């Protein structure tokens, strides 16, 4: 019965997703169509090409997130070293941080943090969260990333000092297509929740409007992950 419930829940979400995708695709398509029609009547401006490209990129990112969601799970499970995976993600953001005056401060647990999981998917979660932190701090600032290991779990806290999230909005994060951004897809957190859930982990968000946000992701440690440190 539980399995059936899960199935029908999944079908409901799939339907909701399909409707959402169709809706989200219509806007950029309308823009592109309009631009092409203008160009057909001989009004060709550089801005049109830029707009068309922007709208195509938007569709690409919607499709990309959707594929991340629709991909069958589990994919490739193995031992994932959370600290080095985080370091990789942080490296990915360093250049952008320099450009946007954002410093990333990392504080790792002294213990190993090894979990069972799909490293590409977990990386996707970290990237989605860090991207949101960046977008919450248009004026720059610092983002703190901390890993904490206890006897059976590792938690990773991402703290930004950005614009924060109101209570009403907090409740909606993770809904498909829920976004407060002009160019947002509203899929990043939905995909992240789903991936973390598949890994038997949790995501908690704490936020104070105008002060900032902490997103905490926790995963159960792999059995025997308290092996000697030279395992890394």
Binding site for ligand ADP (CB under 6 A): 128, 132-133, 136, 160, 162-165, 169, 173, 178-181, 184-190, 213
* 186 part of the interface to Mg ion, by CB under 5 A: no
Q: Which does 185 bind (CB under 5 to 8 A by kind): Mg ion, ligand ADP, none?
A: ligand ADP
Q: Which does 162 bind (CB under 5 to 8 A by kind): Mg ion, ligand ADP, none?
A: ligand ADP
Q: CA 191 to CA 96: how far, in whole Å?
A: 23
Q: Which does 133 bind (CB under 5 to 8 A by kind): ligand ADP, Mg ion, none?
A: ligand ADP
Decide whether 121 or 213 has the Cβ nearer to ligand ADP. Answer: 213
Decide whether 47 or 182 has the Cβ nearer to ligand ADP. Answer: 182
Q: Which does 86 bind (CB under 5 to 8 A by kind): Mg ion, ligand ADP, none?
A: none
Count CB-CB contacts under 10 A for residue 189.
Answer: 22
Of 117, 188, 201, 212, the residue at the interface with Mg ion (CB under 5 A) is: 188
- The answer to whether 111 touches 149, Cβ cutoff 8 Å, is yes
């Amino acid at each position: 019965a539980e399995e059936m419930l899960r199935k029908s829940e999944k079908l409901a979400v799939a339907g909701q997703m399909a409707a959402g995708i169709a809706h989200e695709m219509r806007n950029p398509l309308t823009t592109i169509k309009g631009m092409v029609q203008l160009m057909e009547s001989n009004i060709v401006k550089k801005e049109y090409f830029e707009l068309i490209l922007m709208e195509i990129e938007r569709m690409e990112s919607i499709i990309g997130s959707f594929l991340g969601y629709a991909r069958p799970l589990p994919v490739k499970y193995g031992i994932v070293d959370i600290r080095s995976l985080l370091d990789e993600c942080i490296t990915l953001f360093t250049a952008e941080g320099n450009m946007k005056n954002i410093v990333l401060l990392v504080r790792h647990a002294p213990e190993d943090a090894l979990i069972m999981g799909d490293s590409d998917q977990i990386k996707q979660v970290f990237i989605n969260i860090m991207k949101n932190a960046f977008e919450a701090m248009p004026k720059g600032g610092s983002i703190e990333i901390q890993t904490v290991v206890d006897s059976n779990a590792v938690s990773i806290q991402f703290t930004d000092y950005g614009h924060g999230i109101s209570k009403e909005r907090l409740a909606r994060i993770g809904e498909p297509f829920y976004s407060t951004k002009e160019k947002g897809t509203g899929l990043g957190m939905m995909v992240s929740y789903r991936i973390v859930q598949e890994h038997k982990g949790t995501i908690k968000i704490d936020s104070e409007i105008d002060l900032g946000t902490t997103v905490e992701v926790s995963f159960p440690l792999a059995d025997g992950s308290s092996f000697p440190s030279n395992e890394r």
